[in-house]
Amino acid sequence: MENLKVRDVMAHGVPTCSPFAHLKEVAKIMATEKKPFLVVADETGEMWGIITEMIVLKNLGEDLTAEDIMASPVFTVSPTISLKEALKTMVQKGIQHLIVEHATPEQPSRPVGYLSSSHIIQAFSDEG
């Protein structure tokens, strides 16, 4: 695990929903895409926050939107940092998901994937 980078174990693509999506829609997207979280993003792709399964469970039955229940800010990492450094960030922040952002001189930073605690556990268990 010492030599692994975030890019080596991350999942590609970022599940999202609109800030104005109703809680039922949020739950449906999570269930359909089989994802434990959604990034709340507007039509320009700007990330407003994140909604986890636990946030949905705590608010079941309420008449709320994604914006009402999201956690903010969204914590991000570069795909080039070490897995160990990403794990340190997750532990310090008390979170299970980091959004992986990539930037180039030609393009601003954009989400390209995510790293979850299960990715790190898998990498650790696969170690020789």
> 4 with 82: CB under 8 angstroms?
yes
Cβ pair 83, 49 in contact under 8 A: no
Q: Is the pLDDT of residue 94 over 80?
A: yes
- Collapse the DSSP code of 100 into the 3-class scheme (helix H, G, I; strand E, B; otherwise coil) and give the result: strand
Number of domains in the chain: 1
Q: What is the pLDDT of residues 5-14, one digit of tens each?
A: 999 999 999 9
Which single residue is written with the structure tokens 């299970």?
Answer: 96
Tell me whether residue 1 is in a domain.
Answer: no
pLDDT band at residue 128, thresholds of 50, 70 and 90?
A: low
**pTM for this prediction:** 0.85
- Structural domain harbouring 62: 6-126
Give the side-chain half-sphere CA count within 13 A for 117: 10
Residue 40 lies in a domain: yes
The arrangement of strands across the sheet holding 47-52 comes to 16-17, 37-41, 47-52
pLDDT, tens only, 19-67: 999 999 999 999 999 999 999 999 888 899 999 999 999 999 999 999 9
> What's the CATH code of the domain at 121?
3.10.580.10
Residue 101 lies in a domain: yes
